[in-house]
Amino acid sequence: MTALSSRIAAFADRWPKLLALTLGLVSATGFAPLNLWPLTFITFAGWMALVARAPRGRRAFGTGWAFGVGHFILGLNWIATAFTYQAAMPAWLGWIAVGLLSLFLAVYPALAAWGAWAITKFVTPAKAGAVGSLTPTAPTLSFILAFAALWALTEWLRSWLFTGFAWNPLSVIAVPYFAAPSRWIGTYGTSGLVFLAAAILLLACYRRRAAALALFGTLFAMWGAATLVQLSDNVDAAVRSKGPADERTAITIVQPNIGQQDKWVGGKADANFAKLARLTGPKDDTPRLILWPEAAIPDYLETGYPSVYYDRSPAEARARLMDLMNPDDLMLLGALKLELDKTGEVVGARNAAMTVHADGTLGPRYDKAHLVPYGEYLPMRPLLSALGLSRLAPGDIDFWPGPGPQTLDLGAFGRVGLQICYEIIFSGQVVDRANRPDFIFNPSNDAWFGAWGPPQHLAQARLRAIEEGLPVVRATPTGISAVIDADGRVLKSLPMHQAGRIDTTLPPPHAPTLFARFGNILPVGFALLLLALAIAFRRRGR
């Protein structure tokens, strides 16, 4: 053992939580926009080694929690930016929110670390020798399999427990070229595979070459098989998409570059609409599907609300949209809908995506189902409002959730699945499986999210495309708007903070993937299989 490794081991024994916190911070640099994914592999390997050295379960839990705090506090730093766009609370409260959220989310990595330690029982003091020796606690295959399984399971739990917050799953660093297995085992199963890939480095460091090669071969074979199936789907899609260009669905995506500081300012409403109108204007006589961002206009397009809520009548609001459309165009845009009680008083609102025909009639509507706590509604409103807290979005009326994933029939433009803003991050919850769409439209408002949030949001949308085998189209006010094919590749995009539009045709969908058919039962089953193998290897080792 070298002097350097002895010093590292001594530091790890004396300051395990500090080292784990540092490793967690560095691990988050693998996510967009930095994309330093090799560092993520290295830091996860180092964290596994720390957990393996833990003499007690309490320390394993503590190092897992410290790693998670660092991992989330850097990866979620964009949340603090959202607090700078409201005046009801001080902006510095945003960093308090990031810290508190990270302290809570860190419980999930902590549980994974403690569970892996508990299952494989690493404590062997009689054989350990001197403190600081790396050899006695060399991680076993049982430990690695258990850790990967529990990481995948805790990511899945994080996606739905307490309304869920699935941002930045580990598998997103594999998009798009190494994420093909998500077609079979989804986001959380692929996170387990990425975890196992990091473990190859750990095994190599401990000179367990046979185990490292075996694990590498297994992962490579799985990735290769998934990639071959994906290539086969590409051939099928290419055959289906052949034909005259005018038979393909033409789309126009508008990105007006309206910042959050200007979005809800009443005096700028007409200027904001003018930006959208200038970029949308009729191009030719080809029927096109026009796609505008989330909450694109402040006007209410439906009738029946108290007059005080209308700046202009619904007829006038729709007429402004009609002026921008060719005779056979169709527009999908984000707008708001109000909910009234029996007395006609407004008691709630819906964050909706509405369909507007060229003649001004309204088509089918989708209401956002997965709302943002503290952003679109204030939990425990009587208590928190008394403490001076409020929603980040303007207004005192909370939004109400819609029924969940739906497919809207757009006639000649096909069938679309809607996911508004961060709904797209929830693996297995974005498509109505009984009525599969041809593509997913993700109108969003990423102007809240600083420099890190929008590229991370885009990366997760790409993962949904791979999982479901469906193209994903994003329209945002400030970027990143994009057209993503069913393999997760960005075909066209508009960068952040740049006004523009995308004129193109929709990419073809693939046949339903295995994940598209069965959903999150597959990653959960895969994680349980890894866990069963871990227990089997442990018993065999005994």
Block means of pLDDT (10 residues each) for the chain, 542 residues, are 61 81 97 96 95 91 97 94 68 84 96 93 42 52 95 97 93 92 96 96 89 92 90 70 64 90 72 91 83 90 87 90 92 92 86 94 94 70 53 69 94 95 95 96 90 95 97 95 96 95 94 96 97 84 52
* Contact in structure between 169 and 456 (CB atoms under 8 Å): no
Q: Based on the domain organization, do 372 and 422 belong to the same domain? A: yes
Strands of 362-367's sheet in order across: 362-367, 346-357, 330-340, 288-291, 250-255, 500-505
pLDDT given at position 8: 64
Domain region containing 302: 249-505
Residue 46 lies in a domain: yes
What would the two tokens of residue 319 be?
């007429």
pTM above 0.85, yes or no: yes
**Domain count along the chain:** 2
Q: Based on the domain organization, do 87 and 209 belong to the same domain? A: yes
Residue 511 lies in a domain: no
pLDDT given at position 39: 97
Q: Based on the domain organization, do 159 and 187 belong to the same domain? A: yes
Residue 512 lies in a domain: no
Residue 241 lies in a domain: no
CATH of the domain at 319: 3.60.110.10
What would the two tokens of residue 492 be?
């066209």
Q: Based on the domain organization, do 34 and 137 belong to the same domain? A: yes
* Contact in structure between 116 and 150 (CB atoms under 8 Å): yes
pLDDT given at position 9: 67
pLDDT given at position 129: 38
Q: Based on the domain organization, do 314 and 454 belong to the same domain? A: yes
Helix (H, G, I), strand (E, B), or coil: what is residue 478? coil
Q: Based on the domain organization, do 272 and 144 belong to the same domain? A: no
Per DSSP bridges, beta strands 481-484 and 472-475 are antiparallel
Q: Peptide bond preceding 466: is omega within 30 degrees of 0, i.e. cis?
A: no
Backbone φ and ψ for 405, nearest 5 degrees, come out as -55, 135
Q: Based on the domain organization, do 269 and 384 belong to the same domain? A: yes
Residue 242 lies in a domain: no
Strand partners, 333: 354
How far apart CA 317 and CA 299 sit, in angstroms, is 6
Catalytic residue list = 294, 368, 421
Q: Peptide bond preceding 38: is omega within 30 degrees of 0, i.e. cis?
A: no
Q: Based on the domain organization, do 201 and 299 belong to the same domain? A: no
pLDDT given at position 247: 65
Q: Based on the domain organization, do 255 and 331 belong to the same domain? A: yes
Residue 353 lies in a domain: yes
Q: Based on the domain organization, do 385 and 533 belong to the same domain? A: no
Q: Based on the domain organization, do 9 and 75 belong to the same domain? A: yes
pLDDT given at position 346: 86
pLDDT given at position 163: 86
Instruction: Determine if residue 444 is left, alpha or beta; phi over 0 gives left, psi from -120 to 50 gives alpha, anything else beta.
Output: beta
Residue 240 lies in a domain: no
Residue 159 lies in a domain: yes
Q: What are the helix (H) ranges across 397-490?
A: 453-468
Q: Based on the domain organization, do 270 and 376 belong to the same domain? A: yes
